[in-house]
Structure 1
Amino acid sequence: MSTENSSQRPSLEQQSHSRNSLRQHYINIRNSVSPKQQKEQALRLLECFQRNVMSPKLQKVALYITNKAELDTAPLISFLWQLNIDVYVPVLHPFCKGHLLFIRYAQTTPMTHNKYAIAEPILDVRNVIPLAELDTMLVPLVCFDEHGNRLGMGGGYYDRTLSAINKLSHKNKPQIELIGLAYDIQKALSLPNEKWDVPLTKVLTPSRLYRF
């Protein structure tokens, strides 16, 4: 897959398009990835992770279970399991609307589907991890730009999670490594941002690790 953006991209970004218009544009780009390419890109992502992110310090990693045309995390999750690294995935918070909990995810974890038809573990409070105890969080996104700005699906779930992590860092808590995951074709020139947006310092794609 080419790392170049579509020919439509500059004209879209140079105009005053809403975040929703940009979001839909990049969702369409992401949806254009064929099933065969998805598998290829997932394996390349794993290789890039092994080269650029893997460290003996990694013990508790949060990431997402792939939905639809998102960059597939299944090979990466299997790799982490093989190394006995604890994997945590998000579930919708049952009481705090718009928030996420992160639950330990293993091969034997009983699963369900949430209101968005996304697979998630059945909630068990014994397997919930406080954010401060995570080493690394791999964050899904619709697109990102050259400054680390991120645009998600619009529900605000990860915006709230990233904001909570950002507050932890200001309280001298152990810093959590935040890394966006995306196809190369999800990179934009520039994205609008709001006061609640938390920029990423790194984004991992199948071809490289971006640092901002």
Structure 2
Amino acid sequence: MFLRYAPTTPLVYNQYKILEPRLDKQMICPVADLDIIFTPLVAFDEQGQRLGMGGGYYDRTLAPWESKSTGPIAIGLAHDCQQVSALPTESWDIPLSTIMTPSKIWRW
């Protein structure tokens, strides 16, 4: 679930001790209405695969849009040092079409 955010949006700590917008059903933004989803990652490889924190949240969110020409574009945000030559993958892993680092924009 995604919530609209503004600098004045009240934040609360979630179960992982990360600040996020307080749940307000009037602020829910359906994934289909998003243009871009910036995805965090631990590592990425030269094929656009990303390694996350193991929860599968982004894979489940992106799965319905993987083979469609509509829906949000997922862009990974990373540091150059997070690139590796190859990552192990599972059938549910959704590769990213774009990953941005300080020195390069990767596109597949």
Q: TM-score, normalised by structure 2?
A: 0.93
- Identify which of 86, 93, 96 aligns with 1:197: 93
Kindly indicate whether residue 106 of structure 2 is the aligned counterpart of residue 210 of structure 1.
Answer: yes
Q: CA deviation at 1:211?
A: 1.0
Q: Is the 8 A contact 1:178 1:202 kept in 2?
A: yes
Question: Which residue in the other structure is 2:19 paired with?
Answer: 119
More strand by share: 2
2:61 is matched with 161
**Cα distance in 1 between the residues matched to 2:44 and 2:77:** 10
Match of 1:104 in 2: 4
State the Cα distance separating 1:162 from its structure 2 match: 1.6
Q: Which runs of 4+ in 1 moved over 6 A?
A: none
| Cα deviations by residue, 1:117-137 (Å, 9 ceiling, x for unpaired) | 011000001111111111111
Q: CA RMSD in A?
A: 1.3
Asked whether the 8 Å contact 2:31–2:71 carries over to 1, the reply is no
Q: Secondary structure at the match of 1:207?
A: coil
Matched, 1:180 2:80: no
* Higher helix proportion: 1
The letter of the residue matching 1:166 is: E
- 8 A contact 1:146–1:190 mirrored in 2: yes
Residue 31 of structure 2 is matched in structure 1 by 131
Match of 2:49 in 1: 149
Q: Which residue identity does 2:58 align to in structure 1?
A: Y
SS at match of 1:132: helix
Q: 1:165 Cα shift? A: 3.0
Deviation of residue 207 (structure 1)?
A: 1.4
Identity %: 51
Task: Tell me the number of residue pairs that the alignment of Structure 1 and Structure 2 aligns.
Answer: 108
Per-residue deviation at 1:154?
A: 0.6
Q: Which blocks of at least 5 consecutive residues in structure 2 are unaligned?
A: none
Q: Write the distance in 2 (CA, Å) between the matches of 1:175 and 1:186.
A: 27
> Normalization by structure 1: what TM-score?
0.49
- In 2, Cα distance between equivalents of 1:179 and 1:140: 9
What does the per-residue CA deviation read over 1:34-57, in whole Å, with 9 as the maximum and x for residues that have no partner? xxxxxxxxxxxxxxxxxxxxxxxx
